[in-house]
Structure 1
Amino acid sequence: MRSVRGALLLLVLLLTACTSAEPELDLDLTPEQLDWVGQQIFQNECSGRLACLVHWNDGEAFPSLGIGHFIWYPAGVDDRFVESFPALVAFMDSRSVNLPGWLKNLEPFDAPWPDRASFLAAQEAGEVTSLRQFLGETRGEQVAFIFERAKASLVHIVAAAPESRRDQLLRNLEALAATPGGVYALMDYVNFKGEGLSPDETYQGEGWGLLQVLLAMPQDPDLTALAAFRQGAAEVLTRRADHAERAIERERWLPGWLARLETYREPEGI
């Protein structure tokens, strides 16, 4: 139930965005710009290290995989975060990407390591090494998935905004979508912290996804859209850390999150 839920949520976004009656929004990048975004996300999540493509963070109940550190839950784990790795695999399978045999035939589709200790003990096992190689070879497909997920999410995010603030949110989105740096920020943030549409992804009733950031962007004419986005995202992520029960979010994770926001800049030369 848990694995299917996360995959279905993302696939529904991908399949229904183009049929919605809400205002049409789109993202557009050249192949060179999309490659730049993929490199940025890989750097953000893995510091460009191939070993980090199959990873299990200290303090988490699940491994994080690929350039976007897509979440994959083991059997019996039902955390609050939207699971994204099953949807990535379904996306690549739909594009006829050659999946590792064990991954394609895995049933149920749960991470094969029950906990972090088991994962660390299996670093030289065939599943870990083949998965790391596969994810290293398919970085282009992974950024394509992130791109399609971000595009598909926009219409749903607009629809979920309070009606009184929908026009403002739409203007913020349009301004961000007009530049490669803005598209990068939208793509990375959706992959990094989600759309902000899941009621499970909240602390004390407050979400931290793209919807919440767009609503938090200051309406200051002296700020560029990207500067306003960075400021709104910093406010939302700081609030999340303040509301978190675990001190690790405030003491270790928040500084890294805020540093990541500083990469939301316009690229040079592309």
Structure 2
Amino acid sequence: MAQKNTIGRKIWQNESGGSVDGLTAWNGGEEFPSLGIGHFIWYPAEFNGPFEESWPSFVSFASRNGGNPPAIARERFSPWRTRAEFQGKFNSPEMSGLRNWLASNVTLQTDFIIARSRAALPKMLAAAPASERAKIQTNYQKVSTTTQGTYALIDYVNFKGEGISPTEKYNGQGWGLLQVLGGMGNVPAGDAAAREFAASAKRVLSRRVSNAPASRNEGKWLPGWHNRCDTYGRAM
């Protein structure tokens, strides 16, 4: 339980500095809000984006596990259609109540993120070329042997996904956990594997920015992304 709480608080810190206000966010340049400690994506009805929409899945998970989400959380699509509308209603009773519910259910959100991470490995192995599967599984096991490595695997799949969706690619190259594990060098298990995972994640995300459409201006996020990856190689 202590390790789970540490991981949950660390993910919250990564996404929004551990602030309650940061539990409901809409980043400039994005078409959707991001909610909770894991900044789960929630699409407006008229937007069909390329990234995995994780908010509805979290709400279903919360409902199954006694979380009793508020009514606004259970809507199929984001009730805010634009960032301006979102910001205008930031202090509304509905959004304040949503933040309070999220702040009171950090463990539930952490459980959802951990469950998603555990489900990622078989999906990645099924999607990877046969020649790469042994390497992917071996690197996953090497990284998972330390606390910081376990945190890294859990956080990264929540941060950038499994890397198996055909829509989550630029120039045919993905940026998820599959690509990070596949890009690791051959290092021993333990601390060395966690550090190499962090380095591989930074390389994968730098490649994503290089491949991204210029209109998305993703370079503005890269320093923060790299700082987050650096935490994967440090003892917790």
Correspondence 1:214 to 2:184:
no
Correspondence 1:178 to 2:148:
no
For structure 1, which runs of at least 5 residues remain unmatched after alignment? 1-30
Partner of 1:84: 54
Superposed CA offset, 1:92-140 (max 9, x none): 0011212213434x3xx10000100000111121221111111111111
Partner of 1:63: 33
Q: Distance in 2 between matches of 1:190 and 1:51?
A: 23
1:234 positional shift: 1.1
Assess if the C-alpha contact under 8 Å between 2:72 and 2:98 holds in 1. no
2:165 maps to which of 198, 201, 224:
198
Q: Distance in 2 between matches of 1:47 and 1:265?
A: 19
Assess if the C-alpha contact under 8 Å between 2:195 and 2:234 holds in 1. no
The alignment-based identity, stated in percent, is: 44
2:65 maps to which of 76, 91, 95:
95
Partner of 1:119: 86
Q: Distance in 2 between matches of 1:213 and 1:266?
A: 17
The amino acid across from 1:174 in the alignment is Q
Q: Distance in 2 between matches of 1:168 and 1:110?
A: 39
| 1:208-247 matches, cutoff 5 A | 208-220=175-187, 224-245=192-213, 246=215
Assess if the C-alpha contact under 8 Å between 1:230 and 1:264 holds in 2. yes
Partner of 2:225: 257
Assess if the C-alpha contact under 8 Å between 1:182 and 1:266 holds in 2. no
1:181 positional shift: 1.0
1:74 maps to which of 37, 44, 50:
44
Q: Distance in 1 between matches of 2:16 and 2:146?
A: 25
Assess if the C-alpha contact under 8 Å between 2:121 and 2:137 holds in 1. no
TM-score, normalization: structure 1? Answer: 0.83
1:265 positional shift: 3.3
Q: SS at 1:214's partner residue?
A: helix
Q: Distance in 2 between matches of 1:52 and 1:248?
A: 22
How many residues end up aligned between the 2 structures?
Answer: 234
Q: Distance in 2 between matches of 1:66 and 1:212?
A: 25
Superposed CA offset, 1:137-181 (max 9, x none): 111100000000000111111222211121111110111122211
Bigger relative CO (Cα 8 Å, ≥ 6 apart): 1
